[in-house]
Structure 1
């Protein structure tokens, strides 16, 4: 085999940003040429962005994508490029890779298997291609082959598996490519980020290269492309079961090009990082992309001093720290749209004051501990910090209702009402800050609260983006302890000393989240079985009765409470702010778990538990 240089490239794209998307691809091509690359593979649907949703169904959108492909051709002289785009043929749209050789399109490879699980709904937009089928389509007044194609470069024979194609076991196209004796398989992908997923991907690429006895090159999209899914920009090369190269993931750069000679020796392998580190790096990049792509000037956060809001404050601080560290201060500010970047000796703190505005909104039910925690944390990271009391507004609302119904509200009769009005009263004024600053309001609900509806609609659920809605409360609590030490965030010391509480009841009632619900560790175990694994209440009981040291009545009570609260609170999940997909599953009905708003609430299934 000729000793040639190939490369994978990742790009941070945005749907409908036609010129920006094209320019980032061109910059990646130019960088590949500088590195003397002969074949460059860009990610799946790189021209349009993977998250284009129902735009793929229109007639004009795929047509515009092919016109962008034509604009790309002059930049492909002297190099072979593979780049993803949608192609419409009559009433069907195909997810394709265009192969361009020395400025001419040689063919389109069509994806054979659609991703339809979890966050993916590809069958809504794309039609799978049949193996071994090839047709011709017209492009620039020429007939170009489209379908199940392979190509040659010098004496190297290569083909493609497009993302999901590689995850289909014995059905995957790789086996047919092996029968055709290819030397190299490219996998252009739009594979969503989830903590721990990169280890699975590494295993797949190694096993693929061993099974097909070939080089296997993988290139993924990068960044928070269109709001919810994050792409980690992973680029891998393996040969005959051995990983040869792997890049650093979740970059703040617009693109990365990783080149390698086709030689069976290790080149550069970035380490696989811990789940805690993955969480902060992915969230930091996602927040940065969301802020700049929404053309916002920063973030506003109702900082309660508790775990959830404090974790989000740290994630914004890490966004600034990591962004400056990777891009440099001037490029970070330029990319973020910050016109007057700081020139002080501590630009990170100055930027934090500009990009994150926080407010502690106390009531007579708030404690000095949470106020101190919020103030200490905000000062430690440099965020702007305000504080005020909302008792006057709460009393105004309450007195109007009392006058209307002719009685006083009491904690014995009106517990939820009196709690919720406090949370809702905080919403209008914090939205004012967001509007004044042209900033994104950050919502603080976590996945555990989403499971059971332990959040006030139009209160603590108010916001533009919900950064931690896809991770459970137990993870957040553990991560905060890790972050205090490993991210050098001493401002978390007071946060980590507090027991989680909504602080909506009078202090003498000693309200805690776990007393209201159940231990967060139990919620995690139930939700994994009920939501992730889609188990029935009875299945959950039998599995957890073996795994947990709980008496039968207590466990049954927790399970019944979870399923009842889950089913009656779907309407809340439908209205939560968009969230990042960060874990192996989430409860966002738009991306992972659809559930009826109205249902029988597992009544028969839960009744069966009482019969045991």
Structure 2
């Protein structure tokens, strides 16, 4: 073929399930921006009309009909351009996840996804039917027939076809069949969830495919916290013949993030612009970017007015506090003061004018003061060190800070039970009970603050605690959202040091010099988390070997012994304790506040790891340990 040049664009969209108005506005904004830049083909993400996270709504026939009505609206915006976007359709009893191609206000066809994501957080086979390779059929909607299937399209003599998200991650991916058909451009509309370092895999997937198949590859992902748990990084990639041409900034606060490039097609295509991709990725920087965007989207999409936090002065609550402060800083940097204030949906016009009038160095702290309220709820077992840690951190980021004691409430409940049982509660006999009542008594007052402010209450449990149930149900697990539930304790501890040193949160100096402790036993006992459990590094290794690598208890021991992480006798004790506590505490994991998916796995039974509430508890397997 002769040389042809096409201006290709991909747009990341921050969508919300079932939010027709906002979703269509983002789609239209992307189309308008692409039009002003003379784009030939615009790619939008997977299922972007409805939102990816609609779950069982995809099974409702009326919902598919309503979605198609919205698609027909979008069709009328696609003048002098080809627009490709994700939409589901129902044919008979089957639901298909498709990419619809619209050119000059006409629907050319629907390419249906062939490989459904079914591992980790994905349950696509529950809703969708996979499409067979090399099959093209027709279906009818409102009296008009449309082609659907494994279609090859053409734009100015350039043949193009699709891989939809998971399609590209399989060894027998559709690209293998596209190339013999003369396809020179592959489009990939995606809803690929965020996980630490995943962008590196995705980059290689796209660039290496363009090299292997000697083609151009255009990739566009969803953006933001779409439906509560899952975060999308909004990655847009344009590559050709093994070279990266365009890549955008990930995890931005925009609703629409569009990247475009002119791409040459022909026997020896000219590639004038390339980007050098430089791994390794800084996972700390990735994590704070993901947490910030996830918190902001969760807050504004739930129509909440900021956050409330029981700030203990320990690592977990301190991490949550800094995440909110960094949310504000990053949001203002990305959107500007007015853009951030408007998008937050919690401020008046007068508020916006006030914030705009502030000196730049004061505006972030002032906004944090409106968006984060903290309270230190001490007991006789609390230390001056944790009080100072909480107070100094709150003041350093600008949060509202209250402090009070809960000893009267603890005594009130304790005396009631002592009166009923006709005996005194003692630490020797009632250790867990006396620890738990302190944590539970903290919940009502902090919930009151959240209710008064119409704010989200932040739960502070981390993944290591969830694994072994080291948390008080209806106490420190209380909350509307649990932002660090997907992060292990060892990572959090080094993350806090990184935020102090790299981001300048100097108020973290206090917590970074404390040993993690629940402070629920008398201070004379010098309670620490690791004395109660085991070293966090070993706990995390057992957790990953057990649930990510799916090893048996004996295989876990064998691996730990091979790595010489501790004496053999200690390893056996740690593994026995882990599995015993794990099995006993599944009911807690079922009741935790929703958490964000941040790593390549997590323990959330709604989004990654399902396990029975009642089980044999590995009794036989633990009894056979060598």
**TM-score of Structure 1 vs Structure 2, range by shorter chain:** over 0.9
Tell me, what secondary structure is at the counterpart of 2:77? helix
Matched residue count: 609
Deviations 1:355-374 (A, max 9, x none): 00000000000000000000
Which residue pairs with 2:268 in the alignment?
A: none
Residue 540 of structure 2, aligned match among 509, 524, 531: 524
Return the alpha-carbon distance in structure 1 between the equivalents of residues 139 and 470 of structure 2: 54
Which residue pairs with 1:11 in the alignment?
A: 13
Return the alpha-carbon distance in structure 2 between the equivalents of residues 140 and 241 of structure 1: 43
Which residue pairs with 1:371 in the alignment?
A: 387
Return the alpha-carbon distance in structure 2 between the equivalents of residues 65 and 180 of structure 1: 32
Residue 469 of structure 2, aligned match among 427, 433, 453: 453
Matched, 1:562 2:564: no
Residue 25 of structure 1, aligned match among 19, 24, 27: 27
Matched, 1:118 2:120: yes
Deviations 1:80-122 (A, max 9, x none): 0001011011111000111000111000000001000000000
Deviations 1:125-148 (A, max 9, x none): 000001111111224532110111
Residue 33 of structure 1: how far off its partner (Å): 0.9
Residue 328 of structure 2, aligned match among 320, 325, 334: 320
Residue 270 of structure 1: how far off its partner (Å): 7.1
Residue 271 of structure 1: how far off its partner (Å): 5.9
Residue 344 of structure 1: how far off its partner (Å): 2.6
Return the alpha-carbon distance in structure 1 between the equivalents of residues 461 and 534 of structure 2: 17
Alpha carbons 1:247, 1:268 under 8 Å: kept: no
Tell me, what secondary structure is at the counterpart of 2:119? coil
Where structure 2 has 5 or more consecutive residues not aligned to the other structure, the ranges are 265-270
Return the alpha-carbon distance in structure 2 between the equivalents of residues 460 and 265 of structure 1: 56
Alpha carbons 2:244, 2:274 under 8 Å: kept: no
Tell me, what secondary structure is at the counterpart of 1:598? coil
Return the alpha-carbon distance in structure 2 between the equivalents of residues 138 and 99 of structure 1: 16
Matched, 1:261 2:262: yes
TM-score, normalised with respect to structure 2: 0.96
Which residue pairs with 1:75 in the alignment?
A: 77
Alpha carbons 1:247, 1:270 under 8 Å: kept: no
Tell me, what secondary structure is at the counterpart of 1:76? coil
Tell me, what secondary structure is at the counterpart of 1:557? helix
Which residue pairs with 2:286 in the alignment?
A: 278
Return the alpha-carbon distance in structure 2 between the equivalents of residues 80 and 197 of structure 1: 30
Residue 172 of structure 1: how far off its partner (Å): 1.1
Alpha carbons 2:497, 2:512 under 8 Å: kept: yes
Return the alpha-carbon distance in structure 2 between the equivalents of residues 447 and 511 of structure 1: 20
Which residue pairs with 1:63 in the alignment?
A: 65
Residue 501 of structure 1, aligned match among 509, 517, 531: 517
Tell me, what secondary structure is at the counterpart of 1:97? strand
Alpha carbons 2:538, 2:565 under 8 Å: kept: no
- Which piece of structure 1 moves more, 159-168 or 333-342? 333-342
Which residue pairs with 2:132 in the alignment?
A: 130
Deviations 1:289-317 (A, max 9, x none): 00000000000000000000000100000
Return the alpha-carbon distance in structure 2 between the equivalents of residues 18 and 269 of structure 1: 38
Which residue pairs with 1:492 in the alignment?
A: 508
Residue 319 of structure 1: how far off its partner (Å): 0.3
Which residue pairs with 1:543 in the alignment?
A: 559
Which residue pairs with 1:247 in the alignment?
A: 248
Residue 62 of structure 1: how far off its partner (Å): 1.3
Which residue pairs with 1:154 in the alignment?
A: 156
Where structure 1 has 5 or more consecutive residues not aligned to the other structure, the ranges are none
Please give the residue correspondences for 1:110-259 in structure 2 after superposition, counting only pairs within 5 Å.
110-139=112-141, 141-169=143-171, 171-259=172-260
RMSD of Structure 2 on Structure 1 (CA):
1.0
Which residue pairs with 1:473 in the alignment?
A: 489
Which residue pairs with 1:344 in the alignment?
A: 358
Return the alpha-carbon distance in structure 2 between the equivalents of residues 120 and 458 of structure 1: 29
Return the alpha-carbon distance in structure 2 between the equivalents of residues 158 and 549 of structure 1: 53
Return the alpha-carbon distance in structure 1 between the equivalents of residues 490 and 11 of structure 2: 36
Which residue pairs with 1:552 in the alignment?
A: 568
TM-score, normalised with respect to structure 1: 0.98
